[in-house]
Amino acid sequence: MTTYRDSGVDIEAGDAFIQRIKPLVRTTFRPEVLGDVGGFGGLFRFPTDKYEDPVLVSGTDGVGTKLRVALQLDRHDTIGIDLVAMCVNDVVVTGAEPLFFLDYLAMGKLHLEKAEAIVRGIVAGCREAGCALIGGETAEMPASYPDDEYDLAGFAVGVVERSRLIDGARITVSDRVIGVASTGLHSNGFSLARRVLFEKAGLRVESRLPRLSEPVGEALLTPTRIYAKLVHALLAEHEVHGMAHITGGGITGNLPRILPSECRVRIDPTAWKVPPIFTVIQELGDIAHDEMFRVFNMGIGLVLVVPSSEVDPLLRHVQQLGQEAWVIGAVDKRPHEAKPLIYESERYS
Per-residue pLDDT of the chain (349 residues; tens, 9 = 90+): 777 676 777 778 878 888 888 898 899 999 999 988 878 889 999 888 889 999 999 999 999 999 999 999 999 999 999 999 999 999 999 999 999 999 999 999 999 999 999 999 999 999 999 999 999 999 999 989 999 999 999 999 999 999 999 999 999 999 999 999 999 999 999 999 999 999 999 999 999 999 999 999 999 999 999 999 999 999 999 999 999 999 999 999 999 999 999 999 999 999 999 999 999 999 999 999 999 999 999 999 999 999 999 999 999 999 999 999 999 999 999 998 899 999 998 777 6
143 and 193 belong to one structural domain: no
Q: Does residue 202 form part of some domain? A: yes
Q: Is residue 349 part of a domain?
A: no
What pTM was estimated for this model as a whole?
A: 0.95
User: Of 164, 190, 213, at which residue does a domain stop?
Assistant: 164
Please report, for the domain that includes residue 51, its CATH number. Answer: 3.30.1330.10
Specify the CATH number for the domain of residue 228: 3.90.650.10
**Boundaries of domain holding 258:** 176-343
In contact, 86 and 224? CB cutoff 8 Å? yes
Q: Same domain for 142 and 204? A: no
Q: Are residues 330 and 189 in the same domain?
A: yes
Do 213 and 143 sit in the same domain of this protein? no
